[in-house]
Amino acid sequence: MCGIVAAVGSIDVELCRRMLTRIEHRGPDDTGEIRRGNVWLGHQRLSIMDVEGGHQPLTDAGATTYLVANGEIYNHRHIREDLGHALFETGSDSEAALHALIVDGPAGLARLRGMFALAFTTQDGDFLAARDPLGVKPLYWVRRDDVTLFASELRAFDVEDRPLVETFPPGHCWSPAGGLVRFADTVPAHVRPARRAEEPGVWERSLVKSVREAIVTAVENRMMSDVGVGVFLSGGLDSAIVAAVAAEYAAEHRQPLPTFAVGSPGSADLAAARRVAEYLDAKHHNIEHHEVVMSRQDAVDALPRAVRAIEHYDPSLVRSAVPNLLLAEYAVRHVHAVLTGEGADELFAGYAYYHREPFTDPDALQAELVRTVGELHHLNLQRCDRASMAFGLEAREPFLDRDVIELALSIPPEHKMIGPGIEEKKLLREAFEGWLPDEILHRGKEQFGDGSGAKEVLEEAVRSSPDVAAAEGVELRNREEAGFYAIWRQELDGIRPDRTLGLFATT
């Protein structure tokens, strides 16, 4: 996990260095830059794989190609085997992306399984920028007549460039010669339910097994690290499943598993997370559980920092970002990477609104699930990335593994609908029976900002904010959002929300 800056065209090196400095929090362990002709690449590194040898920009043995990358390539070992170990100079997973592009050109992006934003150049002046299909890793760009600029965060860009900043679209690559090209869909077109469910809530055991195995594999792949991995444990179903699988993997490899929970004194999330940690520790004897108790004043004090960190003002995101930020600030003292439960609600219909009109129709529900998965890159994934990377902590989301997404969205939507005796996410709960305490396995959905105790405190903190109508040119939905927007604008004035941000359907 890192931060990148790239420029192609008429290079202003001092501008590029200013941009890189503004995101140094993303990679506190190392920094690097290189200029070749009309291309400049810069990198801030958080060292997780090959701590000693993974300095970026990475280059090949002949120093003819260069790459900076943010993220993790989870299948880098398979790529090494396919391309030949002799090509590789380091143990860095990002080097797999370098050689995939050297060997196959832009088609090499199809080899990469993971989360990434990257920039690649050759000494002959060829240039390519790309972002993973789901947009787990952030990337923004500015297109001027004389230069194209790329960066991992909005704050990187100079004030005069901010009105031009746009989100670089997930699943796309760009080169000066070829322009913007889609190389992968967020949800591939072939992924759709194979058939309608004859009896909602009743399925074959093979489906339960497939769901469990896909999630277990995704968690195990994300335990990849040379410096240890922990789990953000909210006490909800999704993060508890991730913790249960990670605990078993860590036990098999004789490793401890740090878990981290946050909440107000006596909050439901803290109590539930503690129960999960105690259960898993009794089973595997390897859990190191940590709690961050958040007072009302802690939440109020963290609010401006959270809005600035996540570069967003959507109330649902901000309410979650405040406890998320405090947890990341604590967790980074113990680990460099954490697993989270993001994505499960979008794949298995966990949110309450999925079970109201018009989504009581199976086709409408399926369409909404596909839509919300596609919107994650500038909503929950943005909050998750920024709140953790504010302190140089990498977040990994097993539920958003490509195989898990394709399997989950191929399940008949009727199997994700509630009814008499059918709770939300019943299939997911059944897949992990025996892995968690029953009271956690059947705990109802509660938004992180609610269960942690942040929601009411933050609503009160901005109650005296300016009227919604006071925000010029931006449509704000209530006074709370207007209050968060005022903080956002102080940090990111000039950025156009319509080109860079998404908003939840409800607040």
Spell out, as residue ranges, where the chain has pLDDT lower than 70: 1, 28, 46-54, 194-195, 446-453, 463-473, 505-507
Question: According to the model, what pLDDT value does residue 469 have?
Answer: 47
Question: According to the model, what pLDDT value does residue 50 have?
Answer: 47
- Tell me the backbone φ, ψ of residue 356, rounded to 5 degrees: -120, 165
Q: Residue 382: name the closest of 309, 327, 472 by CA.
A: 309
Asked whether the beta carbons of 282 and 315 are under 8 A apart, the reply is no
Could you give the angle at which helices 237-252 and 205-221 cross, rounded to 10 degrees? Answer: 70
Question: According to the model, what pLDDT value does residue 201 have?
Answer: 78
**Adjacent-strand bridge partners of 2:** 45
Neighbouring CB atoms inside 10 A of 50's CB total 16
280: left (phi over 0), alpha (psi -120 to 50) or beta: alpha
**Three-class SS state of 250:** helix
**Catalytic center residues:** 2
pLDDT digits (tens, 9 = 90+) for 49-98: 445 556 789 999 899 999 999 999 999 999 999 999 888 888 888 999 99
Asked whether the beta carbons of 280 and 288 are under 8 A apart, the reply is no
Question: According to the model, what pLDDT value does residue 1 have?
Answer: 56
DSSP annotation of 356 reads S
**Three-class SS state of 257:** strand
Residue 383, C-beta contacts closer than 8 angstroms, at least 6 positions apart? 310, 312, 317, 320, 321, 324
Question: According to the model, what pLDDT value does residue 420 have?
Answer: 85
Residue 147, C-beta contacts closer than 8 angstroms, at least 6 positions apart? 7, 8, 9, 10, 11, 12
Residue 474, C-beta contacts closer than 8 angstroms, at least 6 positions apart? 485, 497
DSSP annotation of 152 reads S
Helix (H) or strand (E) holding 439: helix 438-441
pLDDT digits (tens, 9 = 90+) for 278-311: 999 999 999 999 999 999 999 999 999 999 999 9
Question: According to the model, what pLDDT value does residue 17 have?
Answer: 96
